[in-house]
Structure 1
Amino acid sequence: MLDPSAGLPFPATVHPEARAARRITWDSREASPEVAFVALPGEKMHGNRFVQQALAAGAPFVLTDLDVPRAVRLPDAQAALFVWARHERARSPLVVGITGSAGKTTAKSYVAAALDALYMPVFNTMPAIACFLIESGGSDRPLVVEMGIDRIGEMQELMALVQPDIGVVTSIGPAHLEGLGSVERIALEKGGILAAPRGGFVSRQAAAYYPATRYPNVQVYGFQEGAGLQLSAEGAAFRYPSAHGDLPVFLPLASRVQAEASLLALKIAEWFGLPLTEAAERLSGVTVPGGRYRVLPGRFTVIDDAYNASPIAVKVALDALHALPGRRVSVLGRMLELGPTERELHAEVGAYARVKADLTFGVGEFAPELGEHAYRTVPELVEALRGVVQDGDTVLVKGSRGISWTPEKRAAEGVGLDVVVKALLEQRDGEV
């Protein structure tokens, strides 16, 4: 429980009606009788505007500079939140931090399963991470934290907050170029996570950016081409070599990305002396969040990878699609935050799709670059797909979601491809 009356790691005036909470959030819509609210400054408005809303929802306390009921009052709520988070993180026995241009959420899910750890569900912003650390303080279970960045200097800030014992880089490629500038700068910034005191891991894809001469405490993980990994429509299988013999691992409906995340997870589990058989059993039961390469089998198979996209992530998804049987269909939307080279990067991805898929569709501003069948809006795309997709097909749907955009702009720009996934599933499952 988070009890403001039991002592805080920062000076504050605690209202006598403030109560203990189970969780804390920066989103007033999540406030409830068990969830406290912290009023943070935002790009457009301050969280103080939503304090009354949080109180009306029953928030046990609110972290704010306002003089209101149940307030934990202090001048700077954001600074206090981060102080509190660092204080609680210090009580955790092991923290694994994960970053990369693609594959962070997948790696987080599998590492957490292998370690039987607590982990952040979705968001990876500084306030979200701080709230997670506060809520997890005092647990004897490891913590796994996704540490995404989109600007120079952000990893340094995250390292000061999270203080991971182990750092992981899943991949390096063009993503968030508007804030980071170049792939080389992305590698340099993300590589800050490898300064974790107990060392780190980088994927084979990212290893070229982190030579052993500069990163001596870093291990490389991944499967060599053509060796050790079996992929099929049923899933991914491999044998993990351990001190007690090879351990068979099977991941239902998984691709190479999930298999490499599992390999990473087992390496970390073995490093800390955890029972590998139990870790492997937990790995086989991992389910990834919607929109992150979730395979949905049926009369035709839909691969829901519509949450986000970058060139490297799209190519990895297309590789996975290419390994599956039947007619392969790629449905690609715009990738965001790619800077002045975005047209060239979309064209590069589209050319790759034409090699890996039998039918290619694109939607939005760069639709012609992304697919042979190009559509301006999502509704037009959905109507076309209804007349093309047939039994036995595998359809990959991938694009940037554009969370902060209006529905109208999302449709016009070709983002929000979760709508396409929903339409395909309704078509497939609504017919006999």
Structure 2
Amino acid sequence: MLDPHAALPFAAAVHPLARPAQRLTWDSREASPEVAFVALPGEKMHGNRFVEAALAAGAPFVLTDLDVERAVRVPDAQRALFDWARHERANNQLVVGITGSAGKTTAKSYVAAALDAHFMPVFNTLPAIACFLIELGGSHKPLVVEMGIDRVGEMAELVDLVRPDVGVITTIGATHLETLGTVENVAFEKGHILRDVSGQPLRGSPGALVGAQAAAYFSGTPTYGFGDATFAGKDLHVTPEGATFTFAGQTVSLPHAATVQAEAAVLGLALAQAAGLPLNEAAERMAAVQVPGGRYRVYPGRYTVIDDAYNASPIAVTAALDALSGFPGRRVSVLGRMLELGETERALHAEVGAYGRAKADVTYGVGAFAAELGERAYRTVPELLAALLADTQDGDVILVKASRGISWTPEQRAAEGVGLDTVVGALLAGQEEKG
């Protein structure tokens, strides 16, 4: 339970009716008798406008500068939240921070399983991470924190908040170029995770790690993966049923996994080994990992659906296409628009489309760059879906991947070729009907 008096070092006063909570939220719609509300500044309005609604919903306390019932009063709620998070995080002996242009959530899932750790849910913003650290920073388990950025300076802010003992970069590629400009800038900004708050390289075993793909950007930093990596898995075999390999003599089997998942498992085992945990137990936990929907989830049946539709960037799409190419049967790629690629977006879509044509037997594209992405190009998602469902055959293996466009309306997503989870849903429904 979160005692509101725990915030007293950062608060002016705690209302006598304030009571402990199980969780924190900055979204007043989630406030309840178990969930306290933090009134943060927003892009359009301040959370103070929703304090009364949170109290009416039964929030045990509210972190705010307002003089209201059940208030934990502070001059600045955001600063107080972050200071409270740093205080709680200091109680934990091992915090792993993970970033990268692709594969963050996958790596987080496997590392958390290997370490038997608490891990961040889907959200990876500063407020979400702060709430996570407050809720779980006092636990005896390690913490695994996904740290995504989309602007200059954000990773430095995240490092100051999380202060990871181990910093990991999975991959470096063309992501968020509208704000970060170049891939080199992406590498520079994400590279802050490999250093402590004073800017010095993380020390310890292993301290800082990068995936083999990202090694060229971080000379001298220990690597993980296969081949000549510092922490290397051996004898990797990937089939439609999954991936197997060995690490330090331990055999690992990952159902329905591809190379990306195997690399994440190597990372998990390297960190488990450094923490002194039994590798056989870590391998067992990783074999049971279920990544969140949309992140390379394989659904076998009369035809196989690979749901990788949560998000997309050039490096993530090419990795998914590599995995698709290893399946038997007719391989079908269904690709939509990749967002935030800046002035080079058409060229990058064309490169990905060419790669898709080399890896898949049938290629579909949808949205603004449909023709670049697939030989069968459709302007909108409904048009694509009608053609795809009519053409699907037993034995096909169908990969679905695009950016989310999470802030767009369903109509905008359909028109722009993003948010292809609707395509996955229709395919799975059709799979059940055929079955």
For normalisation by structure 2, the TM-score amounts to 0.95
Q: Is the 8 A contact 1:378 1:412 kept in 2?
A: yes
Q: Is the 8 A contact 1:8 1:84 kept in 2?
A: no
**Counterpart residue number, 2:67:** 67
Query: Take 2:416 and 2:212, find their aligned partners in 1: how far apart are those partners?
Result: 34
Pick one of 341, 344, 369 that aligns with 2:344: 341
Q: Is the 8 A contact 2:8 2:14 kept in 1?
A: no
TM superposition shift of 1:66: 2.2
Query: Take 1:7 and 1:65, find their aligned partners in 2: how far apart are those partners?
Result: 13
Query: Take 1:6 and 1:86, find their aligned partners in 2: how far apart are those partners?
Result: 12
Residues 1:332 and 2:341 are matched in the alignment: no
**Counterpart residue number, 2:269:** 266
**TM-superposition CA deviations, 1:53-79 (whole Å, max 9, x none):** 222222111111222221112221111
The amino acid that maps onto 2:125 is T
**Counterpart residue number, 2:353:** 350
**Counterpart residue number, 2:430:** 427
Residues 1:236 and 2:243 are matched in the alignment: yes
TM superposition shift of 1:138: 1.3
TM superposition shift of 1:121: 1.2
**Counterpart residue number, 1:215:** none
**Counterpart residue number, 2:10:** 10
**TM-superposition CA deviations, 1:347-391 (whole Å, max 9, x none):** 110010000011111111111111111111111111111111111
Query: Take 1:404 and 1:52, find their aligned partners in 2: how far apart are those partners?
Result: 26
The amino acid that maps onto 2:396 is D
Structure 2 unmatched runs, 5+ = 196-201
Instruction: Give the secondary structure class of the aligned counterpart of 1:108.
Output: helix
TM superposition shift of 1:7: 5.2
**Counterpart residue number, 2:199:** none
Structure 1 unmatched runs, 5+ = 213-217
TM superposition shift of 1:12: 2.5
Pick one of 281, 284, 297 that aligns with 1:294: 297
**TM-superposition CA deviations, 1:293-315 (whole Å, max 9, x none):** 11111111111111110000000
Q: Is the 8 A contact 1:330 1:357 kept in 2?
A: yes
Q: Is the 8 A contact 1:92 1:142 kept in 2?
A: yes
Residues 1:77 and 2:80 are matched in the alignment: no
Query: Take 1:85 and 1:377, find their aligned partners in 2: how far apart are those partners?
Result: 44
Instruction: Give the secondary structure class of the aligned counterpart of 2:87.
Output: helix
TM superposition shift of 1:157: 0.6
Pick one of 281, 284, 287 that aligns with 1:281: 284
**Counterpart residue number, 1:43:** 43
Query: Take 2:67 and 2:386, find their aligned partners in 1: how far apart are those partners?
Result: 54
Residues 1:390 and 2:393 are matched in the alignment: yes
Query: Take 1:7 and 1:107, find their aligned partners in 2: how far apart are those partners?
Result: 32
TM superposition shift of 1:227: 6.2
Query: Take 2:373 and 2:336, find their aligned partners in 1: how far apart are those partners?
Result: 7
Q: Is the 8 A contact 2:170 2:211 kept in 1?
A: yes
**Comparing 394-403 with 224-233, which one deviates more in the overlay?**
224-233
TM superposition shift of 1:9: 2.7
* Identity, % of aligned positions: 72
Query: Take 1:299 and 1:371, find their aligned partners in 2: how far apart are those partners?
Result: 24
**Counterpart residue number, 1:55:** 55
Aligned structure 1 segments of 4 or more residues deviating by more than 4 angstroms: none
Residues 1:250 and 2:258 are matched in the alignment: no
Instruction: Give the secondary structure class of the aligned counterpart of 2:244.
Output: strand
Query: Take 1:224 and 1:323, find their aligned partners in 2: how far apart are those partners?
Result: 19
**Comparing 164-173 with 195-204, which one deviates more in the overlay?**
195-204
**Counterpart residue number, 1:312:** 315
Pick one of 194, 214, 228 that aligns with 1:206: 214
Residues 1:411 and 2:414 are matched in the alignment: yes
Residues 1:364 and 2:371 are matched in the alignment: no
**TM-superposition CA deviations, 1:203-237 (whole Å, max 9, x none):** 1100011111xxxxx31111139962100111000
Q: Is the 8 A contact 2:61 2:71 kept in 1?
A: yes
State how 1:141-156 maps to structure 2 within 5 Å. 141-156=141-156
Q: Is the 8 A contact 1:40 1:47 kept in 2?
A: yes
Instruction: Give the secondary structure class of the aligned counterpart of 1:228.
Output: strand
Query: Take 1:98 and 1:366, find their aligned partners in 2: how far apart are those partners?
Result: 31
Instruction: Give the secondary structure class of the aligned counterpart of 2:414.
Output: helix
**Counterpart residue number, 1:32:** 32
Gap change, CA 1:358 and 1:20, over 3 Å in 2:
same
Instruction: Give the secondary structure class of the aligned counterpart of 1:19.
Output: coil
**TM-superposition CA deviations, 1:88-110 (whole Å, max 9, x none):** 00011100000100000000000
TM superposition shift of 1:6: 4.8
TM superposition shift of 1:151: 1.0
**Comparing 166-175 with 222-231, which one deviates more in the overlay?**
222-231
State how 1:142-221 maps to structure 2 within 5 Å. 142-195=142-195, 196-198=202-204, 199-212=207-220, 218-221=221-224
Tell me how large the CA RMSD over aligned residues is: 1.3
**Counterpart residue number, 1:125:** 125
